[in-house]
A and B are shown apart, each in its own frame.
Chain A
Amino acid sequence: MLRMKETIHIDDEAAAYALHALPDSDVTAVEAHAKHCPPCQQKLNDSVETAQLLALAAVAQQPPGWCKSSLLQRIERESFLTRPARSPQSRTRLASWMPMVAVLALFSLWNMRMQSEVNASRAEAAAAQRSSTTIQATMRQNAMTMAMLAQSQATRPLSAKSPAAQGAEAWMHMTNGQSGGVIIVKNLPAPPPGKVYQIWVAREGVKEPCESFISVEPMQPVAVHAPQALDSYKWIMITLEDSSGSHAQPSDQTILFGDL
Protein backbone atom coordinates (compact mmCIF):
# COMPACT_ATOMS: atom_id res chain seq x y z
CA MET A 1 0.00 0.00 0.00
CA LEU A 2 1.21 3.48 -0.83
CA ARG A 3 2.26 5.80 1.97
CA MET A 4 2.43 9.28 0.58
CA LYS A 5 4.13 12.15 2.27
CA GLU A 6 3.56 15.73 1.31
CA THR A 7 7.02 15.96 -0.20
CA ILE A 8 6.51 12.93 -2.46
CA HIS A 9 4.38 13.58 -5.50
CA ILE A 10 2.37 11.25 -7.63
CA ASP A 11 4.37 10.11 -10.58
CA ASP A 12 3.89 6.54 -11.71
CA GLU A 13 0.67 6.35 -9.72
CA ALA A 14 -1.13 9.00 -11.75
CA ALA A 15 -0.97 6.90 -14.92
CA ALA A 16 -1.92 3.73 -13.11
CA TYR A 17 -4.78 5.54 -11.37
CA ALA A 18 -6.14 6.80 -14.69
CA LEU A 19 -5.94 3.31 -16.19
CA HIS A 20 -7.64 1.66 -13.19
CA ALA A 21 -4.46 -0.32 -12.59
CA LEU A 22 -4.07 0.51 -8.90
CA PRO A 23 -5.42 -1.62 -6.08
CA ASP A 24 -8.29 0.02 -4.19
CA SER A 25 -6.16 0.87 -1.18
CA ASP A 26 -3.71 2.83 -3.36
CA VAL A 27 -6.56 4.59 -5.15
CA THR A 28 -7.66 6.04 -1.82
CA ALA A 29 -4.11 7.14 -0.99
CA VAL A 30 -3.63 8.81 -4.37
CA GLU A 31 -6.93 10.67 -4.13
CA ALA A 32 -6.17 11.79 -0.58
CA HIS A 33 -2.78 13.10 -1.63
CA ALA A 34 -4.04 14.88 -4.75
CA LYS A 35 -6.76 16.58 -2.76
CA HIS A 36 -4.15 18.65 -0.94
CA CYS A 37 -1.57 18.87 -3.73
CA PRO A 38 -2.64 21.02 -6.71
CA PRO A 39 0.23 19.92 -9.02
CA CYS A 40 -0.61 16.28 -8.43
CA GLN A 41 -4.32 16.96 -8.87
CA GLN A 42 -3.51 18.51 -12.23
CA LYS A 43 -1.35 15.54 -13.16
CA LEU A 44 -4.15 13.21 -12.19
CA ASN A 45 -6.71 15.15 -14.22
CA ASP A 46 -4.44 15.14 -17.27
CA SER A 47 -3.82 11.42 -16.98
CA VAL A 48 -7.51 10.66 -16.61
CA GLU A 49 -8.40 12.86 -19.57
CA THR A 50 -5.86 11.05 -21.75
CA ALA A 51 -6.77 7.56 -20.57
CA GLN A 52 -10.47 8.14 -21.20
CA LEU A 53 -9.78 8.67 -24.88
CA LEU A 54 -8.46 5.11 -25.11
CA ALA A 55 -12.13 4.14 -25.35
CA LEU A 56 -11.93 5.34 -28.94
CA ALA A 57 -9.41 2.60 -29.75
CA ALA A 58 -12.22 0.03 -29.48
CA VAL A 59 -14.19 -0.76 -32.61
CA ALA A 60 -17.56 1.00 -32.44
CA GLN A 61 -20.54 -1.28 -32.84
CA GLN A 62 -24.22 -0.51 -32.82
CA PRO A 63 -26.04 -2.12 -29.87
CA PRO A 64 -29.35 -3.88 -30.59
CA GLY A 65 -32.40 -1.63 -30.72
CA TRP A 66 -34.03 -3.18 -27.66
CA CYS A 67 -31.22 -1.79 -25.47
CA LYS A 68 -32.45 1.70 -26.16
CA SER A 69 -36.14 0.91 -25.79
CA SER A 70 -35.47 -0.92 -22.53
CA LEU A 71 -33.46 2.05 -21.26
CA LEU A 72 -36.16 4.53 -22.24
CA GLN A 73 -38.75 2.40 -20.46
CA ARG A 74 -36.61 2.41 -17.35
CA ILE A 75 -36.45 6.19 -17.52
CA GLU A 76 -40.19 6.37 -18.10
CA ARG A 77 -40.83 4.08 -15.15
CA GLU A 78 -38.48 6.04 -12.92
CA SER A 79 -40.07 9.28 -14.01
CA PHE A 80 -43.48 7.88 -13.10
CA LEU A 81 -42.28 6.66 -9.72
CA THR A 82 -40.69 9.99 -8.83
CA ARG A 83 -43.55 12.14 -10.08
CA PRO A 84 -44.55 14.59 -7.33
CA ALA A 85 -47.41 13.33 -5.20
CA ARG A 86 -49.02 14.32 -1.92
CA SER A 87 -46.49 12.45 0.14
CA PRO A 88 -43.59 10.07 -0.51
CA GLN A 89 -45.55 7.20 1.01
CA SER A 90 -48.61 7.71 -1.14
CA ARG A 91 -46.37 8.18 -4.21
CA THR A 92 -44.73 4.78 -3.71
CA ARG A 93 -47.96 3.05 -3.00
CA LEU A 94 -49.66 4.66 -5.94
CA ALA A 95 -46.89 3.65 -8.32
CA SER A 96 -46.82 0.13 -7.03
CA TRP A 97 -50.56 -0.38 -7.23
CA MET A 98 -51.34 1.50 -10.42
CA PRO A 99 -51.35 -1.63 -12.61
CA MET A 100 -53.63 -3.36 -10.14
CA VAL A 101 -56.01 -0.41 -10.05
CA ALA A 102 -56.09 -0.37 -13.82
CA VAL A 103 -56.87 -4.06 -13.93
CA LEU A 104 -59.59 -3.75 -11.30
CA ALA A 105 -61.20 -1.02 -13.38
CA LEU A 106 -60.88 -3.26 -16.41
CA PHE A 107 -62.56 -6.08 -14.52
CA SER A 108 -65.39 -3.83 -13.39
CA LEU A 109 -66.11 -2.80 -16.95
CA TRP A 110 -65.77 -6.36 -18.11
CA ASN A 111 -68.15 -7.64 -15.46
CA MET A 112 -70.69 -4.93 -16.23
CA ARG A 113 -70.61 -5.98 -19.84
CA MET A 114 -70.85 -9.62 -18.83
CA GLN A 115 -73.80 -8.87 -16.55
CA SER A 116 -75.75 -7.30 -19.38
CA GLU A 117 -74.94 -10.32 -21.50
CA VAL A 118 -76.17 -12.59 -18.73
CA ASN A 119 -79.42 -10.64 -18.44
CA ALA A 120 -79.91 -10.87 -22.16
CA SER A 121 -79.17 -14.55 -22.24
CA ARG A 122 -81.56 -15.25 -19.37
CA ALA A 123 -84.32 -13.85 -21.47
CA GLU A 124 -83.47 -16.16 -24.32
CA ALA A 125 -84.36 -19.74 -24.87
CA ALA A 126 -82.86 -22.71 -23.02
CA ALA A 127 -80.19 -23.05 -25.69
CA ALA A 128 -78.66 -19.87 -24.40
CA GLN A 129 -78.50 -21.27 -20.86
CA ARG A 130 -75.17 -22.99 -21.53
CA SER A 131 -73.68 -19.74 -22.75
CA SER A 132 -74.91 -17.93 -19.67
CA THR A 133 -73.36 -20.58 -17.43
CA THR A 134 -70.04 -20.18 -19.18
CA ILE A 135 -70.13 -16.44 -18.79
CA GLN A 136 -71.06 -16.73 -15.12
CA ALA A 137 -68.16 -19.13 -14.59
CA THR A 138 -65.86 -16.58 -16.18
CA MET A 139 -67.31 -13.91 -13.90
CA ARG A 140 -66.73 -16.12 -10.86
CA GLN A 141 -63.15 -16.65 -11.97
CA ASN A 142 -62.74 -12.93 -12.50
CA ALA A 143 -64.20 -12.28 -9.07
CA MET A 144 -61.71 -14.72 -7.56
CA THR A 145 -58.88 -13.02 -9.41
CA MET A 146 -60.13 -9.64 -8.19
CA ALA A 147 -60.25 -10.97 -4.65
CA MET A 148 -56.70 -12.29 -4.90
CA LEU A 149 -55.58 -8.94 -6.24
CA ALA A 150 -57.39 -7.03 -3.53
CA GLN A 151 -55.90 -9.23 -0.80
CA SER A 152 -52.37 -9.33 -2.14
CA GLN A 153 -49.71 -8.07 0.24
CA ALA A 154 -46.70 -7.84 -1.99
CA THR A 155 -45.88 -6.91 -5.56
CA ARG A 156 -42.83 -8.24 -7.38
CA PRO A 157 -41.78 -6.86 -10.78
CA LEU A 158 -40.71 -9.11 -13.65
CA SER A 159 -38.47 -7.66 -16.31
CA ALA A 160 -37.97 -8.56 -19.95
CA LYS A 161 -35.20 -11.02 -20.66
CA SER A 162 -35.67 -11.45 -24.37
CA PRO A 163 -35.98 -9.23 -27.43
CA ALA A 164 -39.30 -11.03 -27.99
CA ALA A 165 -40.58 -9.28 -24.87
CA GLN A 166 -39.35 -5.86 -25.85
CA GLY A 167 -41.54 -3.34 -24.08
CA ALA A 168 -43.26 -5.95 -21.96
CA GLU A 169 -43.52 -5.79 -18.16
CA ALA A 170 -45.25 -7.80 -15.50
CA TRP A 171 -46.02 -7.63 -11.80
CA MET A 172 -46.68 -10.57 -9.52
CA HIS A 173 -49.24 -9.83 -6.82
CA MET A 174 -49.04 -12.32 -3.98
CA THR A 175 -49.88 -12.90 -0.34
CA ASN A 176 -47.52 -14.46 2.18
CA GLY A 177 -48.28 -18.10 2.79
CA GLN A 178 -50.68 -18.33 -0.16
CA SER A 179 -50.06 -20.50 -3.21
CA GLY A 180 -52.35 -18.40 -5.39
CA GLY A 181 -51.55 -15.03 -6.88
CA VAL A 182 -52.05 -12.91 -9.95
CA ILE A 183 -49.57 -11.79 -12.55
CA ILE A 184 -50.47 -8.66 -14.46
CA VAL A 185 -48.76 -8.77 -17.81
CA LYS A 186 -48.43 -5.59 -19.82
CA ASN A 187 -47.60 -5.17 -23.50
CA LEU A 188 -46.59 -8.78 -24.06
CA PRO A 189 -47.13 -9.64 -27.72
CA ALA A 190 -49.13 -12.74 -28.62
CA PRO A 191 -46.86 -15.80 -28.82
CA PRO A 192 -46.00 -17.25 -32.25
CA PRO A 193 -48.41 -19.87 -33.63
CA GLY A 194 -48.07 -23.19 -31.83
CA LYS A 195 -46.49 -21.57 -28.78
CA VAL A 196 -47.79 -20.53 -25.38
CA TYR A 197 -46.39 -18.55 -22.49
CA GLN A 198 -45.70 -20.69 -19.46
CA ILE A 199 -45.36 -19.44 -15.89
CA TRP A 200 -42.77 -21.13 -13.66
CA VAL A 201 -41.87 -20.70 -10.02
CA ALA A 202 -38.44 -21.86 -8.92
CA ARG A 203 -35.88 -22.09 -6.18
CA GLU A 204 -32.55 -23.91 -6.04
CA GLY A 205 -33.04 -27.33 -7.65
CA VAL A 206 -36.79 -26.88 -8.12
CA LYS A 207 -38.73 -25.61 -11.12
CA GLU A 208 -42.50 -25.92 -10.99
CA PRO A 209 -44.74 -25.22 -13.97
CA CYS A 210 -47.86 -23.18 -13.27
CA GLU A 211 -50.43 -21.77 -15.68
CA SER A 212 -49.87 -21.26 -19.37
CA PHE A 213 -51.55 -18.46 -21.28
CA ILE A 214 -51.76 -16.62 -24.56
CA SER A 215 -51.62 -12.87 -24.14
CA VAL A 216 -54.38 -11.07 -25.99
CA GLU A 217 -54.85 -7.83 -24.06
CA PRO A 218 -52.42 -4.92 -23.62
CA MET A 219 -52.78 -5.45 -19.88
CA GLN A 220 -53.76 -8.95 -18.92
CA PRO A 221 -54.22 -10.57 -15.52
CA VAL A 222 -53.23 -14.22 -15.23
CA ALA A 223 -54.07 -16.24 -12.15
CA VAL A 224 -51.15 -18.29 -10.81
CA HIS A 225 -51.49 -21.38 -8.67
CA ALA A 226 -48.23 -22.84 -7.42
CA PRO A 227 -47.84 -26.22 -5.67
CA GLN A 228 -46.64 -24.45 -2.52
CA ALA A 229 -46.84 -20.97 -1.05
CA LEU A 230 -45.50 -18.48 -3.57
CA ASP A 231 -43.17 -16.88 -1.04
CA SER A 232 -41.44 -20.25 -0.57
CA TYR A 233 -39.97 -19.85 -4.06
CA LYS A 234 -37.13 -17.53 -5.04
CA TRP A 235 -37.89 -16.75 -8.66
CA ILE A 236 -40.74 -16.48 -11.08
CA MET A 237 -40.37 -16.56 -14.83
CA ILE A 238 -42.39 -16.73 -17.99
CA THR A 239 -41.02 -18.85 -20.81
CA LEU A 240 -42.10 -19.55 -24.34
CA GLU A 241 -43.07 -23.20 -24.83
CA ASP A 242 -44.61 -25.42 -27.48
CA SER A 243 -48.33 -25.51 -26.88
CA SER A 244 -48.22 -29.31 -27.21
CA GLY A 245 -45.18 -29.80 -24.97
CA SER A 246 -45.08 -31.60 -21.63
CA HIS A 247 -43.46 -28.62 -19.91
CA ALA A 248 -41.58 -30.70 -17.37
CA GLN A 249 -38.62 -28.38 -17.77
CA PRO A 250 -38.59 -24.77 -18.97
CA SER A 251 -37.25 -24.06 -22.42
CA ASP A 252 -34.29 -21.77 -22.89
CA GLN A 253 -36.58 -19.00 -24.06
CA THR A 254 -37.10 -17.00 -20.88
CA ILE A 255 -39.30 -14.03 -21.70
CA LEU A 256 -39.82 -12.35 -18.34
CA PHE A 257 -38.06 -12.95 -15.05
CA GLY A 258 -38.29 -11.68 -11.49
CA ASP A 259 -37.42 -12.39 -7.87
CA LEU A 260 -40.12 -13.49 -5.46
Chain B
Amino acid sequence: MWTLARKILLHDRIKFTVAAAGVSISVMLVLVQIGLYLGFMQNASNLIDHSTADVWVTGEGSENFDFSAPIDERAFYKVASTPGVARAERMLLGFGQFRLADGGTQGVQVIGLDPGARLLRPWHVVAGDVRRLGEPGAIVTDITEAPKLKVHRVGERREIFGARAEVVALTSGIRSFTTSPFVWTDLDSARAYTLYPADRFNFVMVEAAPGVSPEVLARRLSALPNLDAYTTPQMSARAQHYWSARTGVGAGFFTTAALGIIVGLVVVGQILYNGTLEHLKEYGTLKAMGARNSAILRVIVYQALISALVGFVLGGGLALLAQHAMVAANLTVKLTPALVVGTAILTAVMCCAAALLSVVKVLRLDPASVFKG
Protein backbone atom coordinates (compact mmCIF):
# COMPACT_ATOMS: atom_id res chain seq x y z
CA MET B 1 0.00 0.00 0.00
CA TRP B 2 2.90 2.34 0.76
CA THR B 3 4.20 1.71 -2.75
CA LEU B 4 0.85 2.50 -4.33
CA ALA B 5 0.48 5.64 -2.21
CA ARG B 6 3.99 6.82 -3.02
CA LYS B 7 3.67 6.15 -6.75
CA ILE B 8 0.29 7.86 -7.06
CA LEU B 9 1.64 10.84 -5.16
CA LEU B 10 4.86 11.13 -7.12
CA HIS B 11 3.27 10.41 -10.50
CA ASP B 12 2.53 14.10 -10.98
CA ARG B 13 5.79 15.66 -9.82
CA ILE B 14 4.59 19.24 -10.12
CA LYS B 15 1.55 18.67 -7.91
CA PHE B 16 3.66 16.81 -5.39
CA THR B 17 6.21 19.63 -5.38
CA VAL B 18 3.42 22.11 -4.64
CA ALA B 19 2.12 19.91 -1.82
CA ALA B 20 5.59 19.47 -0.35
CA ALA B 21 6.23 23.21 -0.63
CA GLY B 22 2.95 23.93 1.17
CA VAL B 23 3.79 21.58 4.03
CA SER B 24 7.39 22.85 4.18
CA ILE B 25 6.33 26.47 4.49
CA SER B 26 3.80 25.47 7.10
CA VAL B 27 6.40 23.52 9.09
CA MET B 28 8.95 26.30 8.79
CA LEU B 29 6.45 28.93 9.98
CA VAL B 30 5.45 26.81 12.96
CA LEU B 31 9.05 26.00 13.93
CA VAL B 32 10.41 29.52 13.43
CA GLN B 33 7.50 31.34 15.04
CA ILE B 34 7.27 29.10 18.07
CA GLY B 35 11.09 28.86 18.19
CA LEU B 36 11.30 32.66 18.23
CA TYR B 37 8.64 32.76 20.92
CA LEU B 38 10.56 30.23 23.01
CA GLY B 39 13.74 32.22 22.41
CA PHE B 40 12.08 35.39 23.64
CA MET B 41 10.61 33.58 26.61
CA GLN B 42 14.02 32.15 27.41
CA ASN B 43 15.36 35.70 27.43
CA ALA B 44 12.45 36.83 29.59
CA SER B 45 13.44 34.44 32.38
CA ASN B 46 17.12 34.07 31.53
CA LEU B 47 18.45 35.51 34.79
CA ILE B 48 16.01 33.60 36.97
CA ASP B 49 16.67 30.29 35.23
CA HIS B 50 20.44 30.65 35.64
CA SER B 51 20.29 31.48 39.30
CA THR B 52 20.76 28.82 41.96
CA ALA B 53 18.30 30.54 44.29
CA ASP B 54 15.39 28.51 45.64
CA VAL B 55 13.08 31.48 46.25
CA TRP B 56 12.80 35.00 44.84
CA VAL B 57 11.38 37.81 46.94
CA THR B 58 10.11 41.03 45.40
CA GLY B 59 7.93 44.02 46.22
CA GLU B 60 4.28 43.23 46.72
CA GLY B 61 2.22 43.33 43.52
CA SER B 62 5.17 43.35 41.14
CA GLU B 63 3.98 41.60 37.98
CA ASN B 64 6.85 42.29 35.64
CA PHE B 65 10.31 40.97 36.41
CA ASP B 66 11.99 43.65 34.30
CA PHE B 67 10.09 46.53 35.89
CA SER B 68 9.81 45.34 39.46
CA ALA B 69 8.98 47.69 42.32
CA PRO B 70 12.00 48.68 44.48
CA ILE B 71 12.29 47.33 48.04
CA ASP B 72 14.59 48.52 50.83
CA GLU B 73 17.20 47.21 53.22
CA ARG B 74 14.69 46.51 56.00
CA ALA B 75 12.98 44.04 53.71
CA PHE B 76 16.29 42.34 53.04
CA TYR B 77 17.02 41.87 56.75
CA LYS B 78 13.52 40.56 57.42
CA VAL B 79 13.99 38.00 54.66
CA ALA B 80 17.51 37.06 55.74
CA SER B 81 16.37 36.50 59.34
CA THR B 82 13.35 34.35 58.43
CA PRO B 83 13.68 30.75 59.68
CA GLY B 84 14.61 28.38 56.85
CA VAL B 85 16.68 30.95 54.94
CA ALA B 86 20.27 29.74 54.57
CA ARG B 87 21.48 32.60 52.40
CA ALA B 88 20.00 35.80 51.01
CA GLU B 89 21.45 38.04 48.33
CA ARG B 90 20.16 41.31 46.94
CA MET B 91 19.73 42.06 43.30
CA LEU B 92 18.94 45.29 41.52
CA LEU B 93 17.51 45.30 38.02
CA GLY B 94 17.09 48.76 36.52
CA PHE B 95 17.70 50.82 33.40
CA GLY B 96 20.57 53.19 32.65
CA GLN B 97 22.01 55.19 29.78
CA PHE B 98 25.29 53.80 28.46
CA ARG B 99 27.60 56.39 26.90
CA LEU B 100 29.05 55.00 23.69
CA ALA B 101 32.60 55.55 22.47
CA ASP B 102 31.32 57.79 19.69
CA GLY B 103 29.41 60.02 22.14
CA GLY B 104 25.97 58.52 21.57
CA THR B 105 23.94 56.69 24.20
CA GLN B 106 22.35 53.28 24.45
CA GLY B 107 19.77 52.18 27.00
CA VAL B 108 21.01 49.25 29.08
CA GLN B 109 19.51 46.98 31.69
CA VAL B 110 21.76 47.03 34.74
CA ILE B 111 22.07 43.98 37.00
CA GLY B 112 23.47 44.85 40.40
CA LEU B 113 24.61 42.00 42.65
CA ASP B 114 25.91 41.78 46.19
CA PRO B 115 29.68 41.59 46.41
CA GLY B 116 30.63 37.92 46.49
CA ALA B 117 27.21 36.91 45.19
CA ARG B 118 26.88 33.16 44.71
CA LEU B 119 23.24 32.68 43.76
CA LEU B 120 23.53 34.53 40.43
CA ARG B 121 26.70 35.23 38.48
CA PRO B 122 27.40 36.01 34.83
CA TRP B 123 27.76 32.77 32.85
CA HIS B 124 29.23 31.93 29.44
CA VAL B 125 32.20 34.16 30.26
CA VAL B 126 34.42 34.34 27.18
CA ALA B 127 37.00 36.94 28.25
CA GLY B 128 38.30 38.70 31.39
CA ASP B 129 37.87 37.87 35.05
CA VAL B 130 34.33 37.86 36.42
CA ARG B 131 35.71 37.78 39.98
CA ARG B 132 36.60 41.47 39.57
CA LEU B 133 32.88 42.27 39.43
CA GLY B 134 32.96 43.36 43.07
CA GLU B 135 35.40 46.17 42.31
CA PRO B 136 33.76 49.62 42.16
CA GLY B 137 32.84 50.55 38.58
CA ALA B 138 33.60 47.09 37.20
CA ILE B 139 31.09 45.90 34.61
CA VAL B 140 30.53 42.81 32.50
CA THR B 141 28.86 43.09 29.08
CA ASP B 142 27.92 40.58 26.41
CA ILE B 143 29.98 40.22 23.25
CA THR B 144 26.85 39.63 21.14
CA GLU B 145 25.69 43.12 22.12
CA ALA B 146 28.89 44.66 20.76
CA PRO B 147 27.06 46.22 17.79
CA LYS B 148 24.90 48.17 20.26
CA LEU B 149 27.44 48.94 22.99
CA LYS B 150 30.52 49.24 20.76
CA VAL B 151 32.41 47.29 23.42
CA HIS B 152 34.68 44.66 21.94
CA ARG B 153 37.30 43.89 24.57
CA VAL B 154 38.06 43.79 28.26
CA GLY B 155 39.56 46.99 29.64
CA GLU B 156 37.41 49.44 27.66
CA ARG B 157 36.04 52.29 29.76
CA ARG B 158 32.66 53.97 29.45
CA GLU B 159 30.17 55.95 31.53
CA ILE B 160 26.64 55.02 32.57
CA PHE B 161 24.57 58.02 33.66
CA GLY B 162 27.89 59.85 34.10
CA ALA B 163 29.41 57.23 36.44
CA ARG B 164 32.63 55.46 35.41
CA ALA B 165 32.52 51.89 34.22
CA GLU B 166 35.31 49.56 33.15
CA VAL B 167 34.67 46.28 31.31
CA VAL B 168 36.34 43.50 33.32
CA ALA B 169 34.81 40.51 31.56
CA LEU B 170 32.71 39.59 28.53
CA THR B 171 29.99 37.00 28.29
CA SER B 172 28.43 35.53 25.17
CA GLY B 173 24.75 34.95 24.40
CA ILE B 174 23.11 36.49 27.50
CA ARG B 175 20.41 38.70 26.10
CA SER B 176 17.44 40.45 27.68
CA PHE B 177 13.82 40.30 26.60
CA THR B 178 13.61 44.11 26.56
CA THR B 179 16.38 44.24 23.92
CA SER B 180 18.38 46.63 26.14
CA PRO B 181 21.78 44.95 26.65
CA PHE B 182 22.54 43.60 30.11
CA VAL B 183 25.32 45.26 32.10
CA TRP B 184 26.44 43.31 35.18
CA THR B 185 27.96 45.19 38.09
CA ASP B 186 28.04 45.33 41.89
CA LEU B 187 25.06 46.63 43.86
CA ASP B 188 26.49 50.07 44.70
CA SER B 189 27.62 50.75 41.14
CA ALA B 190 24.24 49.58 39.88
CA ARG B 191 22.49 52.16 42.03
CA ALA B 192 24.73 54.86 40.55
CA TYR B 193 24.08 53.61 37.02
CA THR B 194 20.29 53.52 37.48
CA LEU B 195 19.88 56.51 39.79
CA TYR B 196 18.38 54.27 42.50
CA PRO B 197 18.48 55.55 46.12
CA ALA B 198 21.28 54.10 48.25
CA ASP B 199 19.18 51.52 50.12
CA ARG B 200 16.99 50.35 47.25
CA PHE B 201 17.07 47.25 45.10
CA ASN B 202 14.42 44.93 43.53
CA PHE B 203 14.88 41.34 44.59
CA VAL B 204 16.16 39.14 47.33
CA MET B 205 17.40 35.79 46.12
CA VAL B 206 17.09 33.15 48.79
CA GLU B 207 18.76 29.81 49.29
CA ALA B 208 16.68 27.52 51.49
CA ALA B 209 18.29 25.79 54.45
CA PRO B 210 18.84 22.04 54.00
CA GLY B 211 15.58 20.17 54.44
CA VAL B 212 13.40 23.23 53.93
CA SER B 213 11.02 23.04 51.00
CA PRO B 214 11.21 26.07 48.66
CA GLU B 215 7.39 26.07 48.44
CA VAL B 216 7.01 26.22 52.22
CA LEU B 217 9.70 28.88 52.49
CA ALA B 218 8.09 30.96 49.71
CA ARG B 219 4.77 30.86 51.58
CA ARG B 220 6.52 31.88 54.78
CA LEU B 221 8.30 34.80 53.07
CA SER B 222 5.12 35.93 51.34
CA ALA B 223 3.63 36.45 54.77
CA LEU B 224 6.15 39.26 55.39
CA PRO B 225 4.61 42.72 54.96
CA ASN B 226 4.74 44.33 51.50
CA LEU B 227 6.60 41.40 49.94
CA ASP B 228 5.78 38.61 47.54
CA ALA B 229 7.85 35.45 47.32
CA TYR B 230 7.96 32.77 44.64
CA THR B 231 9.94 29.63 44.06
CA THR B 232 12.37 29.93 41.17
CA PRO B 233 10.19 27.93 38.74
CA GLN B 234 7.18 30.09 39.73
CA MET B 235 9.18 33.27 39.25
CA SER B 236 10.40 32.06 35.86
CA ALA B 237 6.86 31.24 34.76
CA ARG B 238 5.60 34.65 35.95
CA ALA B 239 8.32 36.48 34.04
CA GLN B 240 7.45 34.61 30.84
CA HIS B 241 3.71 34.80 31.36
CA TYR B 242 3.76 38.59 31.72
CA TRP B 243 5.41 39.18 28.37
CA SER B 244 3.55 36.36 26.67
CA ALA B 245 0.01 37.00 27.86
CA ARG B 246 -0.11 40.61 28.97
CA THR B 247 1.56 42.13 25.93
CA GLY B 248 0.08 39.97 23.17
CA VAL B 249 3.53 38.77 22.13
CA GLY B 250 2.46 35.14 22.49
CA ALA B 251 -0.74 35.70 20.53
CA GLY B 252 1.24 37.28 17.70
CA PHE B 253 3.63 34.39 17.34
CA PHE B 254 0.98 31.71 17.70
CA THR B 255 -1.36 33.43 15.24
CA THR B 256 1.35 33.35 12.59
CA ALA B 257 2.05 29.69 13.42
CA ALA B 258 -1.68 28.94 13.13
CA LEU B 259 -1.76 30.67 9.74
CA GLY B 260 1.07 28.39 8.69
CA ILE B 261 -0.97 25.36 9.66
CA ILE B 262 -3.98 26.66 7.73
CA VAL B 263 -1.83 27.22 4.63
CA GLY B 264 -0.51 23.67 4.87
CA LEU B 265 -3.99 22.27 5.47
CA VAL B 266 -5.46 23.98 2.42
CA VAL B 267 -2.60 23.19 0.05
CA VAL B 268 -2.30 19.52 1.03
CA GLY B 269 -6.07 19.09 1.16
CA GLN B 270 -6.44 20.52 -2.33
CA ILE B 271 -3.67 18.35 -3.80
CA LEU B 272 -4.91 15.14 -2.15
CA TYR B 273 -8.51 15.82 -3.12
CA ASN B 274 -7.58 16.47 -6.75
CA GLY B 275 -5.50 13.30 -6.74
CA THR B 276 -8.45 11.34 -5.37
CA LEU B 277 -10.79 12.76 -7.99
CA GLU B 278 -8.32 11.82 -10.74
CA HIS B 279 -8.22 8.22 -9.52
CA LEU B 280 -11.89 7.83 -8.67
CA LYS B 281 -12.48 5.27 -11.45
CA GLU B 282 -9.52 3.18 -10.32
CA TYR B 283 -10.63 3.31 -6.69
CA GLY B 284 -14.17 2.49 -7.81
CA THR B 285 -12.87 -0.51 -9.76
CA LEU B 286 -11.05 -1.78 -6.68
CA LYS B 287 -14.19 -1.27 -4.58
CA ALA B 288 -16.25 -3.09 -7.19
CA MET B 289 -13.85 -6.00 -7.01
CA GLY B 290 -14.33 -6.28 -3.29
CA ALA B 291 -11.70 -3.97 -1.80
CA ARG B 292 -12.90 -2.64 1.51
CA ASN B 293 -13.09 1.09 2.16
CA SER B 294 -10.42 0.73 4.83
CA ALA B 295 -7.91 -0.60 2.31
CA ILE B 296 -8.43 2.34 -0.05
CA LEU B 297 -8.51 4.86 2.77
CA ARG B 298 -5.14 3.53 3.90
CA VAL B 299 -3.71 4.49 0.51
CA ILE B 300 -5.00 8.05 0.90
CA VAL B 301 -3.79 8.39 4.50
CA TYR B 302 -0.38 7.04 3.46
CA GLN B 303 -0.23 9.73 0.78
CA ALA B 304 -0.97 12.32 3.47
CA LEU B 305 1.76 10.91 5.71
CA ILE B 306 4.31 10.86 2.88
CA SER B 307 3.47 14.52 2.18
CA ALA B 308 3.89 15.21 5.90
CA LEU B 309 7.26 13.46 6.07
CA VAL B 310 8.73 15.16 3.01
CA GLY B 311 7.30 18.54 4.05
CA PHE B 312 8.60 18.16 7.60
CA VAL B 313 12.13 17.32 6.47
CA LEU B 314 12.23 20.22 4.01
CA GLY B 315 10.51 22.63 6.42
CA GLY B 316 12.83 21.57 9.24
CA GLY B 317 15.79 22.30 6.99
CA LEU B 318 14.39 25.73 6.17
CA ALA B 319 13.84 26.41 9.87
CA LEU B 320 17.48 25.53 10.61
CA LEU B 321 18.60 27.94 7.88
CA ALA B 322 16.33 30.63 9.34
CA GLN B 323 17.72 29.93 12.81
CA HIS B 324 21.25 30.39 11.51
CA ALA B 325 20.33 33.58 9.60
CA MET B 326 18.61 35.12 12.62
CA VAL B 327 21.69 34.79 14.81
CA ALA B 328 23.10 37.71 12.84
CA ALA B 329 20.01 39.74 13.81
CA ASN B 330 20.55 38.84 17.48
CA LEU B 331 17.38 36.73 17.48
CA THR B 332 17.19 33.33 19.10
CA VAL B 333 15.10 30.63 17.41
CA LYS B 334 14.98 27.97 20.11
CA LEU B 335 14.26 24.62 18.44
CA THR B 336 13.77 22.36 21.43
CA PRO B 337 13.34 18.58 21.04
CA ALA B 338 9.76 18.95 22.33
CA LEU B 339 9.03 21.61 19.69
CA VAL B 340 10.51 19.49 16.90
CA VAL B 341 8.64 16.33 17.96
CA GLY B 342 5.44 18.32 18.55
CA THR B 343 5.68 19.93 15.12
CA ALA B 344 6.27 16.52 13.51
CA ILE B 345 3.11 15.16 15.15
CA LEU B 346 1.20 18.34 14.26
CA THR B 347 2.33 18.01 10.63
CA ALA B 348 1.13 14.41 10.46
CA VAL B 349 -2.21 15.35 12.02
CA MET B 350 -2.52 18.37 9.70
CA CYS B 351 -1.91 16.26 6.59
CA CYS B 352 -4.31 13.54 7.75
CA ALA B 353 -6.93 16.21 8.45
CA ALA B 354 -6.28 17.58 4.96
CA ALA B 355 -7.07 14.10 3.61
CA LEU B 356 -10.53 14.13 5.21
CA LEU B 357 -12.29 15.45 2.09
CA SER B 358 -10.71 12.70 0.04
CA VAL B 359 -11.68 10.13 2.64
CA VAL B 360 -15.31 11.27 2.55
CA LYS B 361 -15.25 11.14 -1.25
CA VAL B 362 -14.00 7.54 -1.25
CA LEU B 363 -16.42 6.48 1.49
CA ARG B 364 -19.30 7.83 -0.58
CA LEU B 365 -17.97 6.41 -3.83
CA ASP B 366 -20.59 4.08 -5.25
CA PRO B 367 -18.78 1.07 -6.78
CA ALA B 368 -21.55 0.87 -9.39
CA SER B 369 -20.33 4.25 -10.68
CA VAL B 370 -17.56 2.41 -12.55
CA PHE B 371 -20.20 1.37 -15.10
CA LYS B 372 -21.19 4.94 -15.78
CA GLY B 373 -18.52 5.63 -18.34
Q: Please say whether chains A and B are actual partners in one complex.
A: no
Binding site for A on B (CB under 8 A): none
Binding site for B on A (CB under 8 A): none
